[in-house]
Structure 1
């Protein structure tokens, strides 16, 4: 009985390590995807054409 209990415990520990490794791999992949999406969003936001004419806001009226 002792040997089978030891074997079962070793198997459970091995499965737990494998599950942890898989979870870390999935987490790293998710972080990579989020990083790519954030980069694309920043690039898309920088390409937005301003709706105001370029001369608007370039002068300050100091006479009031």
Structure 2
């Protein structure tokens, strides 16, 4: 009987641990998404920059 009780307890603990890990993974994903969104929103649109119109139109490919 002792084996069944300890097995049941171990399975319950494993289920709780798995639930905690899933919660932590979801929370980390949400934090990463918020950080990514903040970075994207922080990028200024090209027309919003104060550069002259001729800048950023050509790429020098000679090395």
Residue 39 of structure 1, aligned match among 18, 25, 37: 37
Q: How many residues align structurally?
A: 54
**How far apart are residue 51 of structure 1 and its match?**
5.3
User: Deviation above 2 Å: which 4+ runs of structure 1?
Assistant: 46-52
Extract unaligned runs of 5+ from structure 2: 56-63
Equivalent-residue separation in structure 1 for 2:5 and 2:18 (angstroms): 20
Larger radius of gyration: 1
1:1-64 to structure 2, matched below 5 A, reads 3-46=1-44, 50=49, 52-53=51-52, 55-56=53-54
RMSD, aligned CA:
1.9
Of residues 42-51 and 13-22 in structure 1, the stretch that sits farther from structure 2 once superposed is 42-51
TM-score (normalizing by structure 1): 0.73
**How far apart are residue 35 of structure 1 and its match?**
0.1
